[in-house]
Amino acid sequence: MFFASDNWAGAHPNIAAGLSANAGGFSTAYGDGALDQAVYQRFSEIFEREVAVFFVATGTAANSLALTAYNKPGGVSFAHRESHVIEDECGAPVYFSGGSRLHEIDGALGKIDPHNLERTIGRFAPEIVHWGRPMAVSITQSTEVGTIYGLDEIETIAAIAKRYSVPLHMDGARFANALVALDTSPAEMTWKRGVDILSFGGTKNGCWCAEAIVLFDLDRARELAFLRKRAAQLFSKSRFVAAQFEAYFKDGLWLDTARHANAMAARLAAAIEDSATAKLAWLPQANEVFAVIKKAEAEKLQAAGAAFYDWHKPHGFDGHISEDELLYRFVTSFATTADEVDRFGQLIA
């Protein structure tokens, strides 16, 4: 019963087979091989326009380099106060950019409130040298608490970013989970709504180690190529990242794995709603489920083989948590089985 993180799941068998199939022979290095080029083209087909694609090893590298692509002296990037770039990347975006700042924006359950963004970004007048100047806005899709920005919400935030002449970055570590939940297309969820640059995650959804920066603003591509190299993220044998993405996209595998993960989250949420010992904190929208459980009961569940983590109370959560309770996060993946969920459901019934 592994619900600690989708990072705990292994590689999907089709992706492992893709790696094996490309393990032999020779191929041009540093992203210039035939397989690399084919995967770049596949990204463009998926997003319905020409895009520039840069393979990297981790989501942190993708986010950090994406923001650094728009770096400027005194630059300030705006993100939700509980976003991954602010809370979970050890200052990497600041480090990679050479000292730009991250500014927290409030909003309920992981999503930036547009009014708070407008009010905050407006205080950083670019002509005032003392304060710094806006550099980028970053949103997470799906968010750290499993919520999803609707298409109109993305467009609203993008419009604010455009008014202040800064790009909109999307942290898509769980991009596919949000995409299938909204039942939309990659183009509709990104550039058609005003997104300029995307951190495209595959690792949480069945890949072994495959992340990419997808750049819709092609004028930035040459600079980003140099930034990636300087950040030690240019792989010589990049065909092994390309092989993962090739298998990931083939026959819609990436969408199927995301749908399965989301379905298992919905199944788990239903079990929690029926439970006598756990309370669903809010309805899941993707593949993360949050529940309020007594600490003693949670320890029993973990002792019985269930893996999950306690979580901080997010901004905007108005549910009651007693002194003897905690908020806990459960994450499902392509590898989660209905049997795992049902066995956990029996434990909390």
CA distances for 54 relative to 45, 235, 278, 314, angstroms: 16, 10, 43, 33
Please state whether beta strands 133-140 and 75-80 pair in parallel, antiparallel, or not at all (unpaired). Answer: parallel
pLDDT at 83: 97
- Note whether 68 and 156 are within 8 A (CB): no
The model's pTM is 0.97
Torsion 85-89-91-97 (CA) sign: negative
193-215 pLDDT tens trace: 999 999 999 999 999 999 999 99
pLDDT mean over 321-329? 96
Residues 6 or more apart in contact with residue 256 via CB below 8 angstroms = none
How remote is the C-alpha of 334 from its chain's centroid? 16
Orientation of helix 239-249 relative to helix 253-273, angle to 10°: 70
Q: What is the DSSP letter of 30?
A: T
- Note whether 278 and 291 are within 8 A (CB): yes
- DSSP bridge pairs for 288: 331
For Cα atoms 102, 107, 111, give the angle at the middle one, nearest 5 degrees: 80
246-287 pLDDT tens trace: 999 999 999 999 999 999 999 999 999 999 999 999 999 999
